[in-house]
């Protein structure tokens, strides 16, 4: 699911990065993470935008003001109990960096 052009929603951008800068986050790792995020997105009926970064990825999720942070936490728990365990077994460890929230005008909260 991709984010619809809905200017009334707040947005949270959740950032994840490698714990060890010497590790490599390969396109294959990203594909596996991307698939898990799409599964979460479909289960929660939440559109999201997923982007690969050189050392990890970001997920942008629209949300109403009153539940700011809830989707970010839900995504984190889903990833921790699924794909992150698999990647850890392969020696790849990702960490949650932050959750940047913006209002409908693009201002940071």
| Residue range(s) defining the domain that contains residue 54 | 18-102
Asked, for residue 63, whether it belongs to a domain, the answer is: yes
Asked, for residue 11, whether it belongs to a domain, the answer is: no
- pTM for the model: 0.82
Task: Give the largest CA-CA distance in the chain.
Answer: 42
Asked, for residue 52, whether it belongs to a domain, the answer is: yes
Closest among 1, 28, 46 to 87, alpha carbons compared: 28
Q: What total number of domains does the chain contain?
A: 1
pLDDT tens-digit map of 32-90: 999 999 999 999 998 999 999 988 999 998 877 767 678 888 898 999 998 999 999 99
C-alpha–C-alpha distance, residues 75 and 86, integer Å? 16
Asked, for residue 61, whether it belongs to a domain, the answer is: yes
Asked, for residue 30, whether it belongs to a domain, the answer is: yes
Asked, for residue 57, whether it belongs to a domain, the answer is: yes
Asked, for residue 69, whether it belongs to a domain, the answer is: yes
């Amino acid at each position: 699911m991709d984010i619809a052009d809905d200017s009334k929603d707040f947005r949270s951008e959740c950032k994840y990065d490698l714990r060890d800068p010497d590790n490599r986050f390969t396109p294959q790792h990203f594909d596996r993470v991307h698939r898990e995020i799409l599964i979460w997105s479909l289960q929660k009926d939440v559109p999201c935008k997923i982007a690969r970064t050189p050392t990890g990825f970001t997920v942008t999720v629209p949300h109403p003001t009153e539940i700011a942070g809830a989707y970010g936490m839900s995504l984190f728990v889903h990833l921790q109990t699924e794909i992150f365990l698999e990647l850890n077994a392969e020696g790849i460890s990702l960490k949650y960096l932050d959750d940047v929230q913006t209002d409908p005008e693009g201002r940071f909260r």
